[in-house]
Amino acid sequence: MNTVYRWQDAPSSEFAVIGHPISHSLSPKMHMAAFAARGMSSSYVAIEVHPGEVAEALDHLATLGYFGVNVTVPHKEDAYAWCHEHSEVAVKLRVCNTLDLRRRFGTNTDGEGFARSLDGFTFENRRALVLGAGGSARSILDSLQSNHWHISLWNRTQSRADALVSEFGFEAEILSLPDIIGHSLIVNTTSASLDGQRLPIRWADAMPSALAYDLAYGKGLTTFLVDASEQGLAVLDGRRMLMEQGAAAFEFWWNVPAPRAEMLAALQ
């Protein structure tokens, strides 16, 4: 569990992650391991920012001399709005998860981190089912589409899935039910498993070689991954993606290679 600061009480530091809630985040541990591995004396803290306070909080951190900030749910759209300049992928998705406060420049490393997290896996086909239509789904859909996957999308409220596909031009088949038949990759972008909720998935229908991927992570397997593993499927939680998007953020800030092995070890 992190020491969590209100943004009004933010300590002297160079880097932070902001979100709501934020106490569960492993980003401070991961980035402090990266700094240590590169012989850097910088610090990285977790800061609680409530919805509606993002711009004020980022202004305050910039005034305190913070250099870089990572942004997690539910603030990625507000972080995009705060920035004066953006990377190409941030403009495309209109969300930022990595900021340079001195330049008010924002980028998004989620899609890159997701794609790299799949390195080493072999898939029977390139058919992916994405569950959820929130901010995280944007980056996942963009990454899958860029890497030539056939995408199916399901959300409890189908109109949100319709709107997501329409607004951003994703090529995805929208499903009325989370039918996993024929998909070699099943990605949960919802927060349901963090609350112990189960999505209405018939795991017995899964391809035996399919990978169940939950962007969430905890001390053990999420309920989503427990259900998948009981069916004999390979499972992956969000820690590898966290490491890869964190490594991309590190390289964005420092322009030196990130110590990926040390960062991943800090998350295990």
Task: Give the residue numbers annotated as catalytic, written as ranges.
Answer: 76
| Cis peptide bond upstream of 21, omega within 30 | yes
For residues 258 and 242, the answer to whether their CB atoms sit within 8 Å is no
Give the residue among 211, 131, 122 at the shortest CA–CA distance from 179.
Answer: 131
Q: Which residues pair with 47 in a beta bridge?
A: 5, 18
Give the DSSP per-residue string, 110-170: HHHHHHHHTTT---SSSEEEEE--SHHHHHHHHHHHHTT-EEEEE-SSHHHHHHHHHHHT-
Residue type, position 25, single letter:
S
Distance CA 149, CA 222 (A): 25
- Bond from prior residue into 74 cis (ω within 30 degrees of 0): yes
